Amino acid sequence: MRLVLGLVALLGLGANLPAETTAVRRIGPASARLTPRDLSQIERLVSGLGQPWLIIAKWPQRTIVDSWSWPAQVYFTPNSTTPGLSRGLAALVTATISSADGFDSEKTWQLEGGALAYAQVPAEGHTGLDVKSDRDLHRPFLTIDSATWGRTSDADLVRIVRTVRGAGHGPWPIAEIATMNTDLVTVDTLDAVASSNAGESSIVSRQNGTWQITHSQARPLPPSPDQDPFLRMRTRAENANEPMPTTVAPAVVIVVLGIGLAVFGFWIVFSAWRTGGGSPQFVLALLPLALMFLTAPVPIIVWQLIRGFGSIEAVGGVGSAAAVMIATNRSLLFGAAGFLLVMAAAAALQLHAGRVDNTATPVEGLPPPSRAAVWRTRAMLATPAVMIPVALLLATIDSLPRMTFGGALELMQRSGSTNREMEQLSQTVASLLMASFAGGIAATILVGLIGLASLLIVRTTRFSNRVTIYSWAICAIAIAAGLAHLSKLVADLRWLASQ
């Protein structure tokens, strides 16, 4: 349950955004790092949305590549104000920097999406503009509307804020309120102590006409550059001249071993063709070995997912959940690249061998193929069928990020109790992980055996031109599927990095 709550909190996190104006206030942990050039760019970028009055600049966050995204929230002058509540528009802008502390480097700010909405409930004795830091109790917060249920009413929003501010740990400022349905919202809060990276995601529901906090989950905030554990680990590794530990290392090892196995397969087919004892069917012979790049990392990736999700309960937070999925998708990315590399090399060698054979003098009077050769040909033609179970396995793995987070969001948007449904979602994800673990092992063994048989067949059999034409069709299908798988992984990585 706490895991799903963490995933739901992840979905509810739109991000904390910056704002600016002629007399713009700058707050947030990284606000002092905004240069005059940054402020000028941001002001021009959001000029069509309104008059900025506040910017909240947060610490940079690691992206899917070796770079950092520096986010800032821009809040515009409120367009609706009542004695206890103000509402207005906000925007999220980001800049890509080369390192976590590369604030002074050349950068271009970009607007992420369109206008967002915010609300502000000033604390007693304060005005709306009296905001001195992002940990002020009366700071503005994002409001995320439900696509089905719309936005929370003004009266309910004020009641929710009062409920959260009266929580047991003391008043923590609110960063975001997301509407799930008319009786359910998620609320992200920050520790009131500016030096703390603590945060919390809570589910607030209306029960018997009263808003109550029903569940809470720790949500650590992104650390400052000098507190980032990854940077500290990298610094220690560089100082000690040691390799940087990484979660994708097991998958990389498997890919390297797979490349060695593929090179061995290429040598077998090439030597058999050059000596005249076999056929240059590189595509069909190497296809199973190429598929091992996709299947072999799966058991390790699933094991990492299981361990990673188990640690979320202890570590908590959206960043933890997203980091787990990002690390595993990066491992799949290595496998997809290895598969496409082997298939491209097989196609290039088969094309070369075909050109050489076409220029050779044809041999007349060849005897008809034996019964054994016919069966070996049929077996080779059936080899590509192994792509079907591999495709099913990858479809299951590829669906996990969006099914997990998207499923949690969909459940939270339904009215009524969702505890049982969220537990069922957790059980479904766990079942898929275990099935993928077993399926990955079985698929790897299967394609390994078929790959060995294919190499033996190609080494001892000469095939007709019709088999070559068939192999080119299979090659096109395999490469197209591999590219689709790769693009799906990249899209998921970008989506996860934005959460």
Q: In the numeric block, which tokens belong to residue 319?
A: 């960043």
pLDDT in tens, 407-442: 655 655 554 444 556 566 667 777 788 888 888 899
In Å, how far are 5, 27, 86 from 409, measured between CA atoms?
10, 30, 27
What is the distance of C-alpha 173 from the center of its chain? Answer: 29
| Residue 292 Ramachandran class (φ > 0 left, ψ -120 to 50 alpha, else beta) | alpha
- If pLDDT is split at 50, 70 and 90, which confidence band does 109 have? very high
Write out the two tokens for 401: 């990020």
% pLDDT > 70, the chain: 73
DSSP 224: P
Q: Are strands 174-181 and 141-144 parallel, antiparallel or unpaired?
A: parallel
> What pLDDT, on a 0 to 100 scale, did the predictor assign at position 141?
95
CA dihedral 76→80→82→86, nearest 10 degrees, is -30
Please name the amino acid found at residue 98. S
Amino acid at position 372, single letter: A
Helices vs. strands in the chain: H and E counts, helices first? 12, 12
Distance CA 90, CA 463 (A): 66
Question: Per-residue pLDDT tens for 191-227?
Answer: 888 777 788 888 999 998 899 998 888 777 766 665 5
Task: Copy the structure tokens of residue 222.
Answer: 């992104």
> How crowded is the C-beta side of 128, counted as CA atoms within 13 Å?
22
**What whole-number distance in Å separates Cα of residue 223 and Cα of residue 216?**
21
At 63 the pLDDT is 65
How far from 460 is each of 278, 279, 349, 372, 380, CA to CA, in Å?
5, 8, 18, 11, 12
- Would you state the structure tokens that stand for residue 461, as one six-digit string? 């059999």
Does pLDDT of 244 surpass 50? no
Lowest mean pLDDT among 281-295, 316-330, 476-490: 316-330
At position 455, the amino acid (one-letter code) is L
What does 443-483 look like in DSSP terms, one character per residue? HHHHHHHHHHHHHHHHHH----HHHHHHHHHHHHHHHHHHH
DSSP state of 367: P
The tokens 């055996």 sit on which residue?
A: 449
The gap from C-alpha 8 to its chain's centroid, in whole angstroms, comes to 15
Q: Which residues pair with 176 in a beta bridge?
A: 142, 188
Higher-pLDDT residue of 20 and 41 is 41
Contact 115, 107 (CB under 8 A): no
End-to-end, the C-alpha distance of the chain in Å comes to 20
Place of tokens 């804020």: 161
Do 55 and 34 form a contact (C-beta atoms < 8 A)? yes
What pLDDT band is residue 3 in, cutting at 50, 70 and 90?
A: very low
pLDDT at residue number 154? 93
Q: Return the residue matching tokens 């940990």.
A: 135
**Is this structure's pTM higher than 0.75?**
no
pLDDT in tens, 114-160: 899 999 998 777 766 778 888 888 899 999 998 888 899 999 999 99
Q: What pLDDT was estimated at residue 169?
A: 63
Residue 477 is predicted with a pLDDT of 93
- The amino acid sitting at 407 is G
Helices (H), 316-418: 318-359, 371-382, 387-412
Cα(85)–Cα(154) distance, integer angstroms: 7
- Residue 389: pLDDT band (50, 70, 90) is very high
- The Cβ of residue 12 has, within 10 Å, a number of other Cβ atoms equal to 25
| Highest-pLDDT range among 42-51, 236-245, 362-371 | 42-51
Contact of 386 with 446, CB cutoff 8 Å:
yes
Residues 193, 194, 199, 204: is their CA dihedral positive or negative?
positive
Neighbour tally for 21: CB within 10 Å: 19
Side-chain half-sphere of 49: how many Cα atoms within 13 Å?
A: 28
